[in-house]
Structure 1
Amino acid sequence: MNKRTHIALDDELVAQAMAVARVKTKKAAVEAALLAYVRKPDYSRVLALRGKGLIDPEYDPRGPYCLTQAGLERRGLSATS
């Protein structure tokens, strides 16, 4: 359901959003921003586990098992292999 809404927006911010989203209208920019916002992963439940003893305090997400280029190189691999 589409409903007409009147809101005051910062023209500079809208222009930046239009450029980033590569759209030609303010409506398309607002819709793109809303879609990006609602599709953003919600990590709040994971973050709520902090301090509960479920994750090893020594765990390093950038450690030797991560799939970043540095993590791959530590295992003698590369993203192209």
Structure 2
Amino acid sequence: MGIDGNGNVVFAISRHAVRFHDFATLFRDELGCRDALYLDGSISSLYAPAISRNDSHAVMGTVIAVVGTLPF
């Protein structure tokens, strides 16, 4: 998860193991994020029917909400 130069929240999830270097350069070079947060590598899941993604790695729920804006 990161915030790009326009203040947009950006998420990325992989289907396979990813090196931290690849993760960092994706956010920096492709997504335009100065900083990024690695949420988790073993229990993270995504439900996104629009892209046919319905992971079920763990019996749990996580909610991430954007509740305000940051000054840039």
Q: Could you say whether these structures have the same fold, taking a TM-score greater than 0.5 normalized by the shorter chain as the test?
A: no
More strand by share: 2
Q: Say which one has the larger Rg.
A: 1
More helix by share: 1
**TM-score, normalisation: structure 2:** 0.24
Q: Which has the higher contact order (CA 8 A, sep 6+)?
A: 2
**TM-score, normalisation: structure 1:** 0.22
